Amino acid sequence: MSSNSKIRLYVEDELKEGIPLVLNEMQSHYLCNVMRLKSGSKISCFNEKCGEFSAIIGTIHKKQTSINLNAKIREAVKSPDVWLVFSPLKKDCMDFLVEKSVELGVSVLQPVITQYGITDKLRQDRIQTQMREAAEQCERLDTPVLRPVAKIEELLKQWDTSRRIFFFDERGKGRTCADAFSDKSASKTALLIGPEGGFSDSEAEMLYNLPFVTAVSLGPRILRAETAATAALSVWQALSGDWK
């Protein structure tokens, strides 16, 4: 990100030209104490429903800041319909996965419990904050939906079979990414990344036997889970998403 990048805030309120808004304490602290902005400073505010608006700070305080919305500068637009299904990771790895998946345009984050997963707990509030901050930084207009943690068996039983799952098998089996993602028959997509310990034999067998699941290889090297997620999303965006 360049040093002169504008300051963007994700705001859940309805955004409309000419109306004043009061920011919450966290956003006020950020503008006042972190960025050290003053009354009259220019920022922008956005959300997935209203688009993005230029704004000027009115009164600024570390606990409550008022802004005035000016002209709309971008219309609302949604990111591509691609889900990331993943097993929760250790803190630093999880932070990386969340940030990069937002930057790469994922629409839904679905954590799953697998046999070799290291944890079944996630701090939803922390991840929500990370998603919002990543969207602010990368000039995205929406934030992903974070779904509740589910056991992989239960998730697959309830799965909408019109959404194809691309399952990344660390065993090196399955179709190449270029081949799988160039297949235009899957209009709705989910990418399934296993835990650091990989999928168990029984989980792999279950996935291979489901008609709405396609096994995909990420090449000859074993990737860390957060690397695999980033690589898979990048290739999908290049071949089937909004990079093509």
Residue spans per domain, the chain: 8-74, 82-239
Quick one: pLDDT at residue 14?
Answer: 92
Quick one: pLDDT at residue 78?
Answer: 84
Quick one: pLDDT at residue 186?
Answer: 61
Quick one: pLDDT at residue 117?
Answer: 86
**Could you tell me which CATH number the domain at 8-74 has?**
2.40.240.20
Confidence of residue 173 (pLDDT cuts 50, 70, 90): confident
Please indicate whether the domains covering 8-74 and 82-239 agree at the CATH topology level: no
In this prediction, residues 49-73 reach a mean pLDDT of: 92
DSSP one-letter string for the chain = --TTPPPEEE--S---TT-EEEE-HHHHHIIIIIS---TT-EEEEEETTTEEEEEEE-S--SS-EEEEEEEEEE---PPPSEEEEE----HHHHHHHHHHHHHTT-SEEEEEE-TT-S-S---HHHHHHHHHHHHHHHT-SS--EEPPPEEHHHHHHT--TTEEEEEE-TTS-SEEHHHHHT-TT-SEEEEEE--TT---HHHHHHHHT-TTEEEEE--SSPPPHHHHHHHHHHHHHHHTSTT-
- The pTM assigned to this predicted structure is 0.89
Name the average pLDDT for the chain. 90
Its CATH architecture, for the domain 82-239, is 3-Layer(aba) Sandwich (3.40)
User: Of 27, 107, 109, nearest to 63 (Cα)?
Assistant: 27
In this prediction, residues 39-54 reach a mean pLDDT of: 94
- Decide if pLDDT at 77 tops 90: no
- Decide if pLDDT at 3 tops 70: no
pLDDT tens sequence across 188-202: 899 999 988 889 999
